[in-house]
Chains A and B, each alone.
Chain A
Amino acid sequence: MLNFILNWLDRRFGIKKPHGEFLTRITPDRLSFPYCFGGMAFTAFLISAATGLMLSLYYVPSGKEALGSIAQINKRVWLGWLVRGVHKWSASILIVLITLHAMRVFISKAYRPPRELNWMAGSLTLFITLASGFTGYLLPWDQKAYWATTVGTSMAGTVPYAGGALVKLLRGGRSVSGATLTRFYSMHTLWLPFMMALVLWAHFHMIKKQGLRGAGPNGTSPNGSGNAAGGNGAL
């Protein structure tokens, strides 16, 4: 099925020729299910992004209207309750899958040279996801959201000397308020997704360049270029 779709696209858009060497690259025989965790995590991110875009059509990021707009999404908007549910769940699934993917990469020693930078890029996706979870939690602007953010942001206040300034920076004021909601909404829907897109682009670029390690015979890539940068390792 994917073959059919890509062939159709290829005749119009030309996706195979510029990526030919990459796409037809021989992959190791022992690519098992754990080697799909990264792709699965990416799918979970795409689901978060798509459902988030849908929710942003109806959500109102203001102290007076946020909770009402959430109720509207759940009750009035067609399938709104389902889109909201999928958005919430995809975040949890994403965190589990990034963790599983990291474990697979670690066990196959794929964090070692020349792939150090790609491990770091991957760890950034985990931090960005956690930050998205934290900022997203405030957006419904309900009892749990408000107090969880109050407690969560107050943690920065424990830092000696800089604590007070840090808390103010996070909250956009002394306490959690409408200013915090605006700030978190901006982070959740603009800053963090933009950072994620950049980091993921770098992540995929490096996979393409360096190949996938550890699945070939003796833990090398089957093309015999196991550790060499230069792009002829498998995947």
Chain B
Amino acid sequence: MAKKRSLYPDYMDKVFMAGFIVFEAALAAALLYPAPIGQKIDFVAQYQPRPEWYFLWIYRLLRYFPGGLAVIGAVVIPVGFGLLIFFIPCIGRGGNGHVKASIIGAGILAAVIALTLVAVFTV
């Protein structure tokens, strides 16, 4: 049997070092791509802004539900995804629960990634 590892210091040391990687990554990214200063607000002219990358999937989703259906893309699907993620433990109950939860979880992840990619590669 392998040597017994304890939470401290074995695991904590590892997490501590992993935390350093995060700090260095944030620092390196900030050095390479600093946050720019934006333009003054033009309150009059309509302007179509792109959101941060983590909301791009919703931005893209809105386009598939024009007019009266807008609520589906703007609220129903995003909130629905959030609720499904929150209630994963309830979906994953029982014998084949994990399979059900896997299909739902992977489905949400795939949908979000796919919509994000479509948004990134369309103007």
Contact = CB atoms under 8 A, between A and B. Distances in A.
Interface of A: 1-3, 6, 16, 22-29, 31, 33, 35-36, 39-40, 42-44, 47, 67, 70-71, 74, 81-82, 84-90, 92-93, 95, 97, 99, 102-103, 106, 109, 111-113, 115-117, 119-120, 123-124, 126-127, 130, 133-134, 137, 140-148, 151-152, 155-156, 158-160, 234-235
A97 B21 CA distance: 12
Contacts, number: 200
B26 A86 contact: yes
Contacts of A158: 70-71, 74-75
A143 B39 contact: yes
Interface string B37-62: 11111110001111111110010001
Contacts of B40: 67, 142-143
A93 B5 contact: no
Contact of B23 (A25, A47, A102): A47
Given A26-B5, A155-B75, A71 B37 contact: yes
Counting chain B residues whose Cβ lies within 8 A of the other chain, the interface size class is 35 or more
A148 B52 CA distance: 9
7 contacts: A6-B8, A40-B22, A44-B26, A82-B31, A89-B33, A112-B98, A113-B89
Interface in B71-114: 71, 74-75, 82, 85-90, 92-93, 97-98, 101-102, 105, 109
Interface of B: 2, 4-16, 18-19, 21-23, 25-27, 29-31, 33-35, 37-43, 47-55, 58, 62, 70-71, 74-75, 82, 85-90, 92-93, 97-98, 101-102, 105, 109
Nearest to B91: A111
Tell me the dominant secondary structure on chain B's binding face: helix
B116 to A, nearest CB: 12
B47 A147 contact: yes
Contacts of B51: 137, 148, 151-152
Contacts of B5: 26-29, 31
Contacts of A106: 88, 101-102, 105
A127 B54 CA distance: 12
